[in-house]
């Protein structure tokens, strides 16, 4: 089976797309957008959640239709919303990894302002134009239905997965976090406050952090050393960085939000995202009483993710052939 798949190169969706492409039994044509170059077909274009992106979104759509005509995929897998409304010949899967409206509600505590109306309409059209809609958690799938109206009949939760190797070896008394410092959803400023008074170093990696953006190998090395991975998120529809840390044998301290409860309840320590004191106490407890989450993390493998996607792709292709 041949799949045309889109991704942006800004965040975790790119990691997801690469993991899925590598694990699928078939050919994947990866088309990427964003300011960081991609490894395959790439266009330096704005993404639909950026400021005034619509000229670039339209240009990207024309390019994708040209790619489909040249590549003739069996399925088009869109890791964004707006292009779900395009007249692709192959069946379309739209994957909902996050969205501005649900981000705004979780982080700001109110509805997104009127300037996001065009985004909302574009997302709604893309979702309703899809042959199938998927999301990595039931929380995210529910948010898409709540915010954008009825979804297509083919909708399901497919957990993200990782092929990162288990690394339960010797650990240091080290706390690790990773994410974009400027993203209020990651809430890493709370971790900076909680670090005061801890008898262990707290290392934050990612855009805007003291360490900055690290390579995959550099981050893997830190995960292998760290005893605790902290993600006091206000909004995190899945959290690949959390999964990779769990695979590396880290104990987890997480924001107490529905999506993370859905995935990690029973194996992580949860704290209210707005309580730095509780965050400090939970990290201290995790350092003194480690509870690695490797067994749970093994549920979310790249192989399981690929198998679930392949089942969906096969079902859509059968429907297309029967039609």
CATH number at residue 288: 3.40.50.2000
Q: Answer whether residue 236 shows pLDDT above 70.
A: yes
Q: Is 133 contained in some domain?
A: yes
The pLDDT, as a whole number, for residue 16 is 94
Verify that 224 and 288 share a domain, yes or no: yes
Residue 11 sits at the vertex; the CA angle it makes with 75 and 139, to the nearest 5 degrees, is 70
- Which among 205, 212, 207 is positioned nearest to 226, based on CA atoms? 205
Across residues 41-54, what is the average pLDDT? 94
Verify that 305 and 291 share a domain, yes or no: no
Q: Answer whether residue 169 shows pLDDT above 80.
A: no
* Percent of the chain residues past pLDDT 90, beyond the cut: 82
pLDDT band at 320 (very low <50, low <70, confident <90, very high): low
Who's near 11: CB < 8 A, 6+ residues apart?
180
Q: Answer whether residue 168 shows pLDDT above 70.
A: no
Q: Is 249 contained in some domain?
A: yes
Report for 11-20, 116-125, 195-204: range of highest mean pLDDT: 116-125
Q: Answer whether residue 284 shows pLDDT above 60.
A: yes
* Percent of the chain residues past pLDDT 70, beyond the cut: 98
Verify that 113 and 52 share a domain, yes or no: yes
Verify that 137 and 179 share a domain, yes or no: no
Across residues 50-76, what is the average pLDDT? 97
Q: Is 229 contained in some domain?
A: yes
Beta bridge partners of 301: 162
Verify that 191 and 140 share a domain, yes or no: no
Verify that 152 and 248 share a domain, yes or no: no
Q: Is 144 contained in some domain?
A: yes
Verify that 254 and 138 share a domain, yes or no: no
Strand positions, DSSP E, 102-233: 132-135, 155-157, 172-178, 202-205, 226-231
Q: Is 124 contained in some domain?
A: yes
Verify that 137 and 241 share a domain, yes or no: no
Give the span between the Cα atoms of 97 and 51, in whole angstroms. 19
Q: Answer whether residue 265 shows pLDDT above 90.
A: yes
Count of structural domains, the chain: 2
Verify that 115 and 58 share a domain, yes or no: yes
Across residues 79-108, what is the average pLDDT? 97
The pLDDT, as a whole number, for residue 321 is 58
The pLDDT, as a whole number, for residue 323 is 52
Q: Answer whether residue 63 shows pLDDT above 90.
A: yes
Across residues 223-241, what is the average pLDDT? 96
Across residues 61-75, what is the average pLDDT? 97
Two tokens, residue 258: 């529905």
Q: Answer whether residue 210 shows pLDDT above 90.
A: no
**Residue 264 CB neighbour total at 10 angstroms:** 21
Q: Answer whether residue 39 shows pLDDT above 80.
A: no
Verify that 310 and 291 share a domain, yes or no: no
pLDDT band at 42 (very low <50, low <70, confident <90, very high): very high
Continuous segment of H or E residues that includes residue 6: strand 2-8
Q: Answer whether residue 206 shows pLDDT above 90.
A: no
How far is residue 266 from each of residues 224, 249, 258, 295, measured CA to CA in Å? 23, 16, 13, 11
Which residue segment(s) compose the domain that 243 sits in? 172-297
Q: Is 39 contained in some domain?
A: yes
User: Pick the residue with more confidence: 100 or 321?
Assistant: 100
The pLDDT, as a whole number, for residue 36 is 73
Who's near 179: CB < 8 A, 6+ residues apart?
186, 188, 204, 206, 231, 241
The pLDDT, as a whole number, for residue 217 is 87
Length of the chain, in residues: 323
């Amino acid at each position: 089976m041949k799949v045309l798949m889109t991704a942006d190169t800004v965040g975790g969706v790119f990691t997801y797309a690469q993991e899925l492409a590598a694990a699928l039994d078939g050919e994947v044509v990866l088309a990427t957008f964003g300011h960081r170059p991609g490894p395959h077909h790439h266009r330096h274009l704005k993404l639909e959640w950026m400021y005034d992106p619509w000229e670039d979104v339209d240009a990207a759509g024309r390019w994708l239709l040209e790619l489909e005509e040249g590549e003739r995929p069996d399925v088009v897998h869109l890791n964004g919303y707006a292009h779900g409304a395009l007249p692709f010949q192959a069946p379309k899967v739209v994957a909902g990894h996050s969205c501005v409206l649900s981000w705004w509600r979780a982080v700001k505590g109110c509805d997104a302002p009127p300037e996001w109306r065009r985004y909302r309409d574009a997302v709604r059209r893309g979702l309703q134009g899809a042959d199938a809609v998927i999301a990595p958690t039931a929380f995210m799938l529910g948010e898409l239905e709540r915010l954008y109206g009825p979804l297509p009949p083919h909708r399901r939760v497919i957990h993200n997965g990782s092929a990162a190797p288990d690394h339960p070896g010797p650990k240091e008394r080290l706390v690790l976090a990773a994410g974009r410092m400027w993203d209020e959803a990651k809430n890493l400023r709370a971790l900076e406050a909680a670090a005061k008074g801890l008898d262990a170093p707290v290392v934050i990696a990612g855009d805007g952090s003291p360490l900055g953006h690290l390579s995959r190998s550099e981050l893997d090395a830190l995960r292998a050393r760290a005893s605790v991975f902290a993600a006091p998120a206000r909004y995190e529809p899945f959290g690949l960085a959390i999964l990779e840390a769990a695979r590396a044998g880290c104990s987890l301290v997480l924001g107490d939000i529905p999506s993370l409860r859905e995935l990690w309840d029973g194996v992580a320590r949860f704290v209210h995202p707005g309580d730095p004191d509780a965050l400090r106490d939970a990290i201290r407890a995790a350092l003194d009483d480690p509870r690695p989450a490797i067994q749970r993390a093994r549920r979310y493998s790249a192989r399981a993710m690929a198998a679930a996607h392949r089942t969906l792709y096969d079902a859509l292709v059968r429907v297309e052939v029967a039609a």
